[in-house]
Amino acid sequence: MRKYYLFPILYVLKASYVLAAAVAVATLVPITLALARIGPEIEIGGQQTLGVYDNAESRIEDARGDAEAVYQQIGTEEIPEVKDYHDILGASVVKRDEAFFFTIDLAGNPNNNTDFETLYRWHIITTSPITNREQQYTIMFPNFARGNSTTDGWYFAVYDETVNTFIVRPTRITEMPEDRVEFPVEDFYIGAPTRFIYWVDVSVRLNGTLGQPDYLMDYAP
């Protein structure tokens, strides 16, 4: 089974964020710290670095106009143009009944993607109620430009990073709203947690063939 477009990312200052493929997600912040009760967001040096969902609606913010194509793979020559739908303005998560509603707010319409594969991701770290150990998930919303691939339109998937397997394989879904990527996810797909830490990002793959991202475009917080 192929594991695709799942990079652990080490985030530094916004203007110089880089890929760190050898760094596990858990090293971004110790899980004991991440899951401690330290408020609605985790802050390091006074700067919000991760969002925290704690059984209530949670939101993170990001600046407008800070999207930038940051090279992620050796041998990639073409640089994608930054579009408004690459610019993350914020993200929120709220639970309604048995589903989490995950929303990424954007500066533009994500349905206007006409060039490449654009991938929106939620990175989630929680604690398994069964094993009491760290559990990591990636919720993915890839969009394939029409004419760029045999697979076009929007898809949804959930990947369990801890055991390296799909919980939900890429499944076609309808178009997104005009200014955000928003979709309900059944809670049991990510272990039905009452608390988790999270961050979001958007990346681009140039040939749209279900592979690893070529460029990271933006992330939040």
Which domains are seen in the chain, by residue range?
9-220 (2.60.40)
Rg (alpha carbons) of the chain, rounded to whole number? 16
| Alpha-carbon gap, residue 189 to 167, rounded angstroms | 6
The answer to whether the CB of 191 falls within 8 A of the CB of 175 is no
**pLDDT at residue 147, as a whole number:** 65
The answer to whether the CB of 39 falls within 8 A of the CB of 51 is no
| Alpha-carbon gap, residue 116 to 101, rounded angstroms | 26
**pLDDT at residue 42, as a whole number:** 45
Q: Residue 197 is encoded by which pair of tokens?
A: 């830490």
The distance of Cα 209 from the centroid of its chain, to the nearest Å, equals 19
Contacts of 107 (CB under 8 A, 6+ apart): 64, 65, 67, 84, 85, 87, 89, 179
**pLDDT tens figures, 61-91:** 999 999 999 988 766 668 899 999 999 999 9
pTM to 2 decimal places: 0.80
| Alpha-carbon gap, residue 98 to 41, rounded angstroms | 24
DSSP 16: G
Query: Percentage of the chain with pLDDT > 90?
Result: 61
Stated length of the chain:
221
Q: Within a 13 Å sphere around the CA of 93, how many CA atoms are in the beta-carbon half? A: 25
Q: Within a 13 Å sphere around the CA of 135, how many CA atoms are in the beta-carbon half? A: 21
The answer to whether the CB of 218 falls within 8 A of the CB of 119 is no
The answer to whether the CB of 219 falls within 8 A of the CB of 28 is no
**pLDDT at residue 210, as a whole number:** 62
Q: Which residues of the chain have pLDDT under 70?
A: 1-48, 74-77, 147-150, 208-211
